[in-house]
Structure 1
């Protein structure tokens, strides 16, 4: 049986609902349920660095953590989870709760790895969501001051006349290694790869003239280059760097393939609500664009970027193809 309320009762109910809606609007209260981002963050955030403490990624991560903590009046802690060339920390975040409280600061390795490693424990596009590309990094073709060559051409001529000379990188299957093998390929030279466990020991052996040349990150080598103890012959990337405007790019010198930029970027687990991803992205982009952020990033010889999750996603998909081509060309294999 169907029951019908009297018209007078229905009108009264409608009036009450209308009054409640008007009152809520006047008081600034939305009639829609609160979004996930409204309450975020309400507790401690962990920023995972997939490399040991003390490196450029770690220093940048601590800068971002401090600025986020100041802006949001909440605790942001840095946790170093190194191992597997970044894979351990990347995988930890990929499998974390997708609530915005576990965040990853990764480097270019995360998009190179699919072409270098047969099987990864995560899929960067399925298990992680891009937040923002924080900064671009720079790799410098560097030689000891004791070496006589002052240009890439002179280095190449020397390598052709003296095959098998050692060149150093900051690790097997890293950007440094890929650049080294790419130079061997495009310049048709033969040099012996000597991998180090990071940029610091590589730089030390360059200073000691133990290796003939090395592709080093500018963050690590900058002070020694400025002091004249190391000589910068060229940089990777599309443009010259503000920190070393007189040093040409490899592309300028006629060596193709080195235009791909290294970078550092932030990710969260893939299922993290989009509103939270956007809120985190917007705040990080603001920090990166602020005078303090720019100064801190440039102190590390990095180039501030910022940008949206969509911008970062496009960069990731573009670089996946480009680095994949370099891996095929050089034959470099991951461990």
Structure 2
């Protein structure tokens, strides 16, 4: 009798739970179906004309055509991307304020003591593409391999230099990591962007340079430079015969630079998933694949659940280098 009574009392609870689950699913479907119902702001935390801006406009144009809603690209440069990132982190979670961010999204919390938002305030939507650093040396140095660069650095301590495209950028962190891994003391020489950095290595002002593949792309076949290696977890498609650092006895350089889409963390998962699927679909089109490859990038087009572990892994990786090298922008 007791069992029958308990069973009878449980039935309404089960029915209520089932109704709630059905209601939630229906609500998510309604949210997903009605989105987007107005123009979308696509925030780029860097000036117009750069690689991030170019990718944002390519993605934005395709989204607008597919969804029949304007996608307005807004450039919000400032504080190494913090200003634009913060705008999206604090925006309403309705799917209408979107971030086109880069690797600094996960590096910033380790480089600054005070950041107005947390990484957890941003929901990953899709990793659009990966980049890599290409390690150049002027041909006039006579250095032909990474091993020769290390040998000369050790034979001539304190005399060899390595250029980056800026303080606390991925290339700077790679130089510090390389010094720690190889036991060298390459002197870091930061430049204000990849353009001046490339000019310095072409002008033989530095011994080597860690250059973003996007900026390096036009010079990959230069007769003035020699490519020694690349960072990343796979060989760069434009340099199939160039080894990764991990292939020449220096593992740990698998983390690449990347471009990705984010929404405020308060955004319903149905909207995050819908935008993620659409961006991934755009990236996988032949035309977008070609455009990204021509920029020296490796197209990805991942879904939200695929992008999230990349962020977690990369955040821990860059933090370990920042802490070990004691780098700070405060």
Range of TM-score over shorter length: 0.7 to 0.9
> How far apart are 1:267 and its partner, in Å?
0.3
SS at match of 1:65: helix
The equivalent of 2:162 in structure 1 is 167
Quick check: 1:113–1:334 contact (8 Å CA) kept in 2?
no
The equivalent of 2:100 in structure 1 is 105
Instruction: Tell me whether 1:141 sits opposite 2:135 in the alignment.
Output: yes
Change (3 A) 1:211 1:39: same
Quick check: 2:135–2:230 contact (8 Å CA) kept in 1?
yes
Q: What do you get for the CA RMSD once the two structures are aligned?
A: 1.7
Change (3 A) 1:83 1:164: farther
| Cα offsets for 1:98-121 (capped at 9, x unmatched) | 221111111111112222221211
The equivalent of 2:193 in structure 1 is 198
The equivalent of 2:7 in structure 1 is none
Structure 1 distance, partners of 2:232, 2:225, is: 20
Instruction: Tell me whether 1:261 sits opposite 2:256 in the alignment.
Output: yes
> How far apart are 1:32 and its partner, in Å?
7.2
Equivalence map 1:106-121=2 (5 Å) = 106-121=101-116
Instruction: Tell me whether 1:313 sits opposite 2:308 in the alignment.
Output: yes
Change (3 A) 1:33 1:96: closer
Which stretches in structure 2 are left out of the alignment for 5+ residues? 1-25
The equivalent of 2:4 in structure 1 is none
- Which structure: larger Rg? 1
SS at match of 1:79: strand
SS at match of 2:291: helix
> How far apart are 1:334 and its partner, in Å?
2.9
Alignment partner of 2:124 out of 130, 133, 136: 130
Structure 2 distance, partners of 1:49, 1:71, is: 21
Alignment partner of 1:331 out of 313, 326, 329: 326
SS at match of 2:248: coil
The equivalent of 1:3 in structure 2 is none
Instruction: Tell me whether 1:283 sits opposite 2:278 in the alignment.
Output: yes
Farther-moved stretch of structure 1 (281-290 vs 165-174): 165-174
The equivalent of 1:5 in structure 2 is none
Which stretches in structure 1 are left out of the alignment for 5+ residues? 1-30
Structure 2 distance, partners of 1:228, 1:61, is: 33
Using structure 1 for the length normalisation, give the TM-score. 0.86
The equivalent of 1:19 in structure 2 is none
Structure 1 distance, partners of 2:169, 2:312, is: 19
Quick check: 1:35–1:275 contact (8 Å CA) kept in 2?
no
Structure 2 distance, partners of 1:287, 1:146, is: 43
SS at match of 1:112: helix
Using structure 2 for the length normalisation, give the TM-score. 0.87
Change (3 A) 1:67 1:229: farther
Structure holding more helix per residue: 2
Quick check: 1:135–1:302 contact (8 Å CA) kept in 2?
yes
| Cα offsets for 1:171-215 (capped at 9, x unmatched) | 111110010011111111122211112111111111111122111
Quick check: 2:164–2:171 contact (8 Å CA) kept in 1?
yes
Equivalence map 1:5-84=2 (5 Å) = 35-84=30-79
| Cα offsets for 1:262-284 (capped at 9, x unmatched) | 21111011111222111111100
> How far apart are 1:50 and its partner, in Å?
1.2
The equivalent of 2:294 in structure 1 is 299
Aligned residues: 304
Structure 2 distance, partners of 1:230, 1:56, is: 23
Structure 1 distance, partners of 2:193, 2:245, is: 23
